[in-house]
Amino acid sequence: MTGRRTRDHIIGGARRLFQWLWPSVCTVCRAQPSMPDNPYFCAQCWRTMPHLSRPWCPRCGLPFASSAALLYSPTHLCSACRDREPPFERARSAVAYDGVAASAIHLMKYQRRRLLARSLGALLLPLLEELGPVDGVVPVPLHVQRLREREFNQALALAQVVCRETGWPLWWNLLERTRPTQAQVGLDAAERRRNVRQAFLVRDVEPVEGRRILLIDDVMTTGSTVHECARVLTRAGAGPVQALTVARQIRPGSA
Ligand SMILES: [Zn+2]
Ligand SMILES: [Zn+2]
């Protein structure tokens, strides 16, 4: 514990020195960032993050435009969940994939601003009270080829934040992406589903059986990746799978 505190102290000191020597500016407004651990955004811009809130679909967390549906039935599901029953028990996302959230995720993922995983992962913590207890946390894996290009798995970095906070075990290599799927950007829902079909494998079935699993990813777009991972885990005998993503793409009229 003391060793960890000393290490955090040294890392914090080195980071402050680095920032003093090479001051960074907020990606949006060029003001000086003021949040510890986040040299890329100022607190004011970070607060503009479009947080998602109730009323939402109790199953997949998609916000409803009005609470009217839930007045009649508190278990009213969105049309997507009614059309195709999700393989997960519950999914929630912290913010809409837009504005500061989209640029922060983009910076973390494609420009290797790994430090942002801490601030983005912290957005998941208030959502934990939405979930039931879990036995283990599973990040959505990258294919080894993509991992080499990107040098780190953003979903794993986000899952680490949750596990540090909760003490839940991190099952970081339980799921494997067995083939390099095409980037989902620009594909429609059916193409995305086809793209991730049979792309994941549970490496070891034994620890999964009957266990409640929390799946973590950075963005949920049409939900095809989260669906496929939850499907594979459930098929391997997992107990209920719940899913958290930092951001969710909300298309007009999707509620
Ligand atoms: Zn700013
Ligand atoms: Zn739904």
Domain of 163, CATH number, reads 3.40.50
How far does residue 17's CA lie from ligand 1's centre (Å)? 21
How far does residue 162's CA lie from ligand 2's centre (Å)? 24
5 with 71, same domain: the answer is: no
How far does residue 168's CA lie from ligand 2's centre (Å)? 26
Nearest ligand to residue 60 Cα: 2
Distance CA 28, CA 80 (A): 34
How far does residue 104's CA lie from ligand 1's centre (Å)? 12
75 with 196, same domain: the answer is: yes
What pLDDT, on a 0 to 100 scale, did the predictor assign at position 22?
Answer: 65
How far does residue 95's CA lie from ligand 1's centre (Å)? 18
85 with 123, same domain: the answer is: yes
94 with 20, same domain: the answer is: no
Tokens of 54: 């109730």
What pLDDT, on a 0 to 100 scale, did the predictor assign at position 126?
Answer: 96
pTM: 0.86
151 with 44, same domain: the answer is: no
2 with 118, same domain: the answer is: no
Tokens of 15: 């980071």
42 with 104, same domain: the answer is: no
How far does residue 130's CA lie from ligand 2's centre (Å)? 15
**What total of structural domains would you count in the chain?**
2
8 with 124, same domain: the answer is: no
pLDDT at 117 over 90: yes
70 with 172, same domain: the answer is: yes
Q: Is 81 part of any domain?
A: yes
List C-alpha distances in Å: 11 to 18, 24, 159.
10, 17, 21
- pLDDT-based confidence at 181, cuts 50/70/90? confident
Q: Is 253 part of any domain?
A: no
* More confident position, 47 or 133: 47
36 with 133, same domain: the answer is: no
138 with 228, same domain: the answer is: yes
Tokens of 166: 């909760």
Averaged pLDDT, 69-96: 89
Contacts of 253 (CB under 8 A, 6+ apart): none
Averaged pLDDT score across all residues of the chain: 89
140 with 243, same domain: the answer is: yes
% pLDDT > 90, the chain? 60
How far does residue 66's CA lie from ligand 2's centre (Å)? 14
Q: Which residues form the domain of 122?
A: 50-248
- pLDDT-based confidence at 11, cuts 50/70/90? confident
Distance CA 51, CA 177 (A): 30
Q: Is 3 part of any domain?
A: yes
How far does residue 50's CA lie from ligand 1's centre (Å)? 15
Q: Is 214 part of any domain?
A: yes
Nearest ligand to residue 39 Cα: 1
